Amino acid sequence: MSNKCATNSSLLIAQKAVKQLRLEASVRRIKVSQAAAELKSFCLQNAHKDPLLTGVPSSDNPFRPPKSCVLL
């Protein structure tokens, strides 16, 4: 009897797996060349707004200037 129970749950798992794979297989895809071109253009369009990329001058970056000097 326990053998049958094991087979039943294996069946459920297998049915779930097949259902999931069918879903994933039906996803609409675009070519890598198109996807890559769009990733590239996003980077380039936003490059000027990226402080870590462009290196913002000390006056604009709150972390760059050292902590205030101690007055002697």
By CB under 8 A, name the binding residues for other proteins: 3-4, 7-8, 10-11, 14-15, 17-18, 20-25, 27, 29-40, 42-47, 49-53, 55-56, 61-64, 67
Q: What tokens were used for 1?
A: 């009897």
Q: What tokens were used for 47?
A: 């490059």
Complex with other proteins: residue 3 or 72, whichever CB lies closer: 3
Complex with other proteins: residue 29 or 72, whichever CB lies closer: 29
Which residues fall within 8 angstroms of residue 70, CB to CB, at 6 or more apart?
none
Rounded Cα–Cα distance for residues 37 and 28 (Å): 18
Smallest gap from residue 27 Cβ to other proteins (A):
6
